[in-house]
DNA sequence: GTCCAGGCATGCA
DNA sequence: TGCATGCATGGA
């Protein structure tokens, strides 16, 4: 991949492995919207981005070299060699088919706090509704970052919301979970930066102690927010997929379970 | 109107 | 440990 820093934009060429729609709209992140010109706009951290595929290159609008190097490069996981990982994963027949069909899914490195809150909201919920709840949450108490756009609220901002406030934005029965989580995060009882440094199982157990966090939500937070590429979220779709493996994971998934999961999840939703 | 969504907490065996 | 049930909400 080559990176060019223009006067306003950052331009990526020779990108081996990125499909914007598959990556930004596959249910791992909830703040990206497709625009009329087929570009994608979204918020991550306290940054707004518009990114568009233009022929063989990708244009990150109004993105400085600092923004790219210090934030988006890691967000899009560009430091990881997806080509060699997918080559390894393709040793499995089903995964090989999924990768061929949906080439270009990357795992985004999202903010741990946002990922945890988002996947608590996601439980027993559908993606379009998850998106709208999160948007209302950001509009209600996140930092304005310009253009009428708001960042995802920090713990102390969420802690100022009451259970009733969370219900008013449509969180439903998850309102209680969000309120408790915010309180614990502010008190330091939940420390995601510390959890990030733990071994996978310890990190997982810490997350499981949070009200409203079960196996699936914990694994999503680990994979999409806390940098655990080997986490393997098991939702209803993945349970169906795993019957095709007799319940045991192929050896070639090892170390890359998260990406394998995301491909199989996508494959299952379109083929089962 | 009815169904269902990237589940989880709870109670009971 | 394993299974049944209730849960808030709104888009399809």
Closest CA to A4 of A58, A42, A50: A58
Closest CA to A264 of A251, A255, A249: A249
Cα→Cα distances A89→A24, A85, A241, A255, A262, Å: 21, 6, 16, 10, 12
Residue A98: the pLDDT is 97
Residue A23 near residue A105, CB atoms below 8 Å = yes
Full DSSP string of A164-207: HHHHHTT-GGGHHHHHHHHHHHHHTSS-HHHHTTS-HHHHHHHH
**Alpha-carbon span A185 to A137, nearest angstrom:** 17
Residue A94 near residue A266, CB atoms below 8 Å = no
Distance from residue A22's CA to nucleotide B12's C1', rounded to whole Å: 43
* Nucleotide closest to residue A128 (CA–C1'): C11
Nucleotides of C under 7 A from a protein CB: 7-12
Residue A236: the pLDDT is 83
Residue A180: the pLDDT is 98
DSSP E strands, A32-121: 32-34, 40-44, 47-54, 57-60
Collapsing DSSP to helix, strand or coil, A32 comes out as strand
Distance from residue A214's CA to nucleotide B9's C1', rounded to whole Å: 10
pTM: 0.97
pLDDT in tens, A125-152: 999 999 999 999 999 999 999 999 999 9
Residue A243: the pLDDT is 87
Collapsing DSSP to helix, strand or coil, A64 comes out as coil
Distance from residue A150's CA to nucleotide B9's C1', rounded to whole Å: 32
Distance from residue A229's CA to nucleotide C2's C1', rounded to whole Å: 30
pLDDT in tens, A196-240: 999 999 999 999 999 999 999 999 999 999 999 999 999 988 988
**Alpha-carbon span A255 to A229, nearest angstrom:** 7
**Alpha-carbon span A48 to A163, nearest angstrom:** 29
**Alpha-carbon span A82 to A64, nearest angstrom:** 25
Closest CA to A263 of A31, A41, A93: A93
A172 CB-to-strand C distance under 7 Å: yes
Residues (96-155, chain A) with CB within 7 Å of strand C atoms:
124-126, 128-129, 132
A240 CB-to-strand B distance under 7 Å: no
Low-confidence ranges of chain A (pLDDT < 70): none
Collapsing DSSP to helix, strand or coil, A44 comes out as strand
Which two three-digit tokens encode residue A224?
A: 């999409």
Which two three-digit tokens encode residue A182?
A: 């915010």
**Alpha-carbon span A140 to A134, nearest angstrom:** 10
Which two three-digit tokens encode residue A163?
A: 């259970």
């Amino acid at each position: 991949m080559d990176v060019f820093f223009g006067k306003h934009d950052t331009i990526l060429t020779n990108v081996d492995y990125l499909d914007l729609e598959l990556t930004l709209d596959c249910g791992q992140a909830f703040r990206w919207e497709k625009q009329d010109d087929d570009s994608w706009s979204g918020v991550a951290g306290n940054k707004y981005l518009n990114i568009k595929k233009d022929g063989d290159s990708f244009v990150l609008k109004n993105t400085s070299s600092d923004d790219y190097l210090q934030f988006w490069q890691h967000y899009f996981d560009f430091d990881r060699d997806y080509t060699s990982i997918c080559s390894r994963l393709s040793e499995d027949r089903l995964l090989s088919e999924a990768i061929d069909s949906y080439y270009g899914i990357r795992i985004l490195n999202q903010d741990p706090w946002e990922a945890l809150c988002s996947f608590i909201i996601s439980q027993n919920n559908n993606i379009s509704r998850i998106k709208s709840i999160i948007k209302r949450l950001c509009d209600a108490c996140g930092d304005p970052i310009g253009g009428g756009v708001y960042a995802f609220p920090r713990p102390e901002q969420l802690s100022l919301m009451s259970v009733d406030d969370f219900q008013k934005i449509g969180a439903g029965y998850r309102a209680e979970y969000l309120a408790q989580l915010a309180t614990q995060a502010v008190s330091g009882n939940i420390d995601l930066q510390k959890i990030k440094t733990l071994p996978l199982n310890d990190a997982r157990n810490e997350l499981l102690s949070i009200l409203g966090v079960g196996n699936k939500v914990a694994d999503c937070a680990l994979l999409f927010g806390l940098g655990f590429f080997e986490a393997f979220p098991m939702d209803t779709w993945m349970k169906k997929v795993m019957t095709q493996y007799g319940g045991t994971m192929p050896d070639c998934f090892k170390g890359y379970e998260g990406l394998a999961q995301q491909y199989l999840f996508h494959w299952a939703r379109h083929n089962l």
